[in-house]
């Protein structure tokens, strides 16, 4: 029952065992996501909404919070459950054995988009449900030919209810009965395990069922790419902060900038799902989404991009609380005053007297373009070569943008919170927003932890950062562009499967490596978690003199990557290059810069080693070897540590520490 491995034709089929833990049932997980969908109960909605929610769960994109999907918050438990569930379906083979169960269910759902009547839609929906149920039955060796299983029945109830009309329209009773009555074994076959129709059957709903064409991906749309450019440069521009006696401020801005980027991608993702369906997404990750769109896609996505911070009766952005807080500050409204749209407009520099909607829209668009990364939207065949240059924006009247700003006459008492909450404090609205978003994100991220050693009452409850690590996976571009079969281009289905499987596996590794019962609760904190670009901080009680555990965490990640490589990616070796910086007398900004330099050196050392030992790991599609800076390999002040094929570089200056 194993699906073919999407990374190479020569690799063994996948194994669906072990993806879900022993007490987890796939249909029960689907049911739980339906029951816990934000807003009103799914069963109350029209048939298309109910169907869409089901297929989003199968695809790995259920709503896990209002307007948020698993890849918007990948380290949460709900995201982990959703991504493991979709990987489970992708590991079960399709009825024809050519792809995965997940793929054919998405293909079938894509085929319903053109159906106009409830009757037509119901037939296609029932056929899809029967394929889902039969796939799970045979994956789990369930033998039950005379009735629905308990899991199937309970799922149908929360999806469609037991209203008699809905049972007749949407429960796949006839389809299941027709298949199971002819069942003779537990292996897939076209004859025994697919609902069949007579070749003479007429009608656009069923005509593709006779030869099972509805199981195949048929893309009549353009493949569109949307990507944010120069992300690291943008983050540095808005988060670099060097004040020695305010060491946590830069970390807060960094978290805020990372969260805003995640929000941008979340908005684009939601727009794609709403307008084109979750079935349209081919690649999703690393600040880029590829999907099956059309000539209207660019306009649709730009509208979403320009309205990321917009608040209206029909739209509430994820950072609603933080936006309202900034609006109150700039309009000098108290907590008891009602905030109006004109107060929000002040964030974008729009005076309250401006009421014309087109002017407000243009001003907001201009502000978004100035403060957020550039967005590239194009058909895959028309993608520009080379990247656009980054042009940093600095506000001269902001004490963060302009550290030389004279603050002698600024008489504001209190700590950073008090200053950022005072309209007289000279800081730009975007930095003010990043600060409040960063503080909120730190609190939200801490809620995802389940394991750890509780706080010792004899230790200081205040914490400090003693080490930072920045890591990035190696040669992902080479991995994702590698040929499944030599001499043939990779089809959309392969690229789709590779993307979702890697996302599921990578975030499962990171989450399980950070949530440990042997460490202080919430000790290792992800400041940035954007695709394969991760920044981790090690927190300890102030004055505790504890040593860093970052190397233990990085070793654990390396071990899990090595195991995953052996089980699914062989001979490709998943690995990272990481830089670690220790506190010493450095502030956060200096630690960030040092860890980045060490990360760059680690990547160069890895490329140099691979070019000698495993050249295919650094060989691009055009046959060229990935370049590395040989001058960066020589550094008397740093040390390196290899875990399997992963490398860590750290500075030896001013520390008394030996990596394990």
187 and 319 share a domain?
no
The conformational region for residue 235 under phi > 0 = left, psi -120 to 50 = alpha, else beta, is alpha
At which of 443, 466, 488 does a domain end?
443
Query: Does a structural domain hold residue 9?
Result: no
Query: Does a structural domain hold residue 564?
Result: yes
Percent of the chain predicted with pLDDT > 90:
50
Query: Does a structural domain hold residue 507?
Result: yes
The conformational region for residue 215 under phi > 0 = left, psi -120 to 50 = alpha, else beta, is alpha
pLDDT at 652 over 80: no
Could you tell me the CATH number of the domain that includes residue 419?
3.30.70
376 and 501 share a domain?
no
Average per-residue pLDDT for the chain = 86
pLDDT tens digits for range 177-224 = 877 766 544 344 444 445 554 444 444 445 555 567 777 776 667 899
pLDDT tens digits for range 562-580 = 999 999 999 999 999 999 9
At which of 416, 443, 470 does a domain end?
443
353 and 484 share a domain?
no
277 and 420 share a domain?
yes
420 and 322 share a domain?
yes
226 and 208 share a domain?
no
pLDDT at 611 over 50: yes
Number of domains in the chain: 3
142 and 230 share a domain?
no
Instruction: Name the nearest CA neighbour of 643 among 556, 532, 518.
Output: 556
417 and 273 share a domain?
yes
pLDDT at 354: 87
408 and 453 share a domain?
no
- Structural domain span for residue 350: 222-443
pLDDT tens digits for range 501-530 = 999 999 999 999 998 888 888 899 888 888
User: Token pair of 499, please?
Assistant: 């993307």
Model confidence, pTM = 0.90
Tell me the CA distances in angstroms from 329 to 319, 326, 334, 610, one per residue in order: 16, 5, 8, 54
pLDDT at 101 over 80: yes
pLDDT at 660 over 60: no
Span 231-235, average pLDDT: 86
pLDDT at 350 over 70: yes
Query: Does a structural domain hold residue 658?
Result: no
pLDDT at 635 over 70: no
Query: Does a structural domain hold residue 11?
Result: no
Using a 10 angstrom Cβ sphere, with 0-12 exposed, 13-18 middle and 19 or more buried, the burial of residue 371 is buried
175 and 288 share a domain?
no
Could you tell me the CATH number of the domain that includes residue 614?
3.30.70.270
Helix (H) or strand (E) holding 343: helix 341-345
202 and 235 share a domain?
no
Query: Does a structural domain hold residue 1?
Result: no
At which of 155, 188, 215 does a domain end?
215
**Between residues 544 and 378, the one the model is more confident about:** 378
539 and 601 share a domain?
yes
Span 453-471, average pLDDT: 86
Instruction: Name the nearest CA neighbour of 557 among 621, 512, 587.
Output: 512
Q: What are the DSSP calls for 548-613, one per residue?
A: P-HHHHHHHHHHHHHHHIIIIITTS---EEEEEEE-TT--HHHHHHHHHHHHHHHHHHHHHHHHHH
């Amino acid at each position: 029952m194993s699906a073919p491995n999407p990374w190479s034709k020569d690799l063994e089929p996948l194994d669906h065992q072990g993806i879900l833990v022993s007490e987890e049932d796939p249909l029960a997980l689907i049911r739980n996501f339906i029951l816990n969908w934000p807003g009103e109960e799914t069963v109350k909605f029209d048939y298309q909404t109910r169907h869409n929610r089901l297929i989003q769960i199968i695809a790995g994109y259920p709503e896990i919070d209002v307007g948020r999907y698993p890849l918007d918050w990948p380290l949460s438990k709900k995201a982990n459950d959703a991504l493991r569930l979709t990987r489970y379906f992708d590991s079960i083979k399709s009825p024809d054995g050519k792809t995965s169960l997940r793929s054919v269910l998405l293909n079938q759902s894509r085929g319903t988009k053109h159906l106009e009547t409830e009757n037509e839609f119901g037939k296609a929906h029932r056929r899809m449900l029967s394929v889902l149920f039969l796939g799970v039955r045979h994956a789990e060796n369930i033998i039950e030919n005379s009735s629905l299983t308990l899991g199937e029945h309970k799922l149908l109830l929360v999806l469609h209810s037991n209203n008699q009309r809905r049972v007749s329209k949407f429960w796949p009773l006839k389809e299941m009965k027709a298949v199971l009555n002819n069942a003779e074994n537990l292996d897939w076959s076209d004859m025994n395990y697919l609902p069949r129709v007579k070749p003479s059957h007429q009608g656009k709903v069923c005509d593709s069922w006779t030869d099972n064409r509805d199981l195949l991906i048929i893309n009549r749309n353009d493949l569109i790419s949307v990507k944010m450019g120069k992300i690291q440069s943008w983050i540095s521009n808005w988060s670099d902060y060097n004040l020695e006696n305010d060491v946590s401020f830069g970390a807060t801005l960094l978290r805020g900038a990372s969260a805003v980027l995640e929000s941008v991608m979340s908005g684009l993702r939601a727009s794609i799902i709403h307008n084109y369906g979750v079935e349209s997404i081919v690649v999703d990750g690393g600040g880029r989404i590829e999907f099956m769109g059309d000539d209207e896609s660019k306009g649709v996505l730009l509208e979403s991009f320009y309205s990321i911070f917009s608040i209206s009766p029909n739209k509430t952005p994820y950072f609603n609380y933080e936006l309202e807080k900034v609006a109150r500050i700039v309009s000098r409204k108290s907590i008891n005053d009602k905030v109006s749209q004109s107060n929000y407009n002040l964030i974008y520099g729009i005076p309250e007297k401006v009421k014309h909607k087109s002017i407000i829209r243009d001003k907001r668009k201009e502000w978004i373009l100035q403060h957020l990364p550039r967005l590239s939207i194009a058909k895959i065949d028309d993608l520009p070569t080379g990247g656009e240059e980054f042009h940093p924006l600095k506000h001269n009247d902001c004490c963060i943008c302009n550290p030389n700003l004279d603050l002698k006459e600024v008489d504001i008492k209190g700590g950073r919170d008090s200053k950022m909450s005072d309209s007289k404090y000279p800081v730009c609205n975007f930095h003010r927003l990043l600060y409040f978003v960063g503080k909120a994100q730190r609190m939200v991220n801490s809620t995802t932890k389940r394991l750890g050693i509780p706080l010792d009452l004899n230790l200081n409850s205040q914490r400090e950062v003693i080490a930072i690590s920045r890591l990035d996976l190696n040669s992902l571009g080479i991995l994702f562009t590698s040929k499944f079969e030599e001499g043939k281009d990779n089809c959309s289905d392969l690229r789709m499967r590779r993307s979702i499987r890697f996302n599921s596996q990578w975030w499962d590794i990171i989450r399980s490596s950070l949530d440990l019962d042997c460490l202080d609760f919430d000790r290792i904190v992800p400041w940035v978690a954007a695709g394969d670009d991760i920044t981790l901080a090690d927190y300890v009680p102030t004055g505790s003199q504890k040593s860093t555990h970052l190397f233990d965490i990085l070793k654990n990640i390396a071990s899990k990557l090595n195991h995953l490589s052996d089980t699914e990616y062989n001979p490709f070796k998943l690995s990272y290059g990481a830089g670690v910086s220790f506190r010493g007398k450095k502030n956060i900004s200096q630690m960030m810069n040092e860890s980045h330099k060490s990360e760059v050196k680690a990547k160069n050392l890895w490329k140099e080693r691979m070019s000698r030992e495993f050249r295919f790991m650094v060989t691009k599609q055009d046959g060229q070897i990935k370049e590395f800076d040989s001058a960066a390999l020589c550094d008397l002040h740093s040390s390196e540590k290899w875990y399997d094929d992963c490398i860590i570089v750290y500075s030896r200056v001013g520390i008394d520490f030996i990596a394990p």
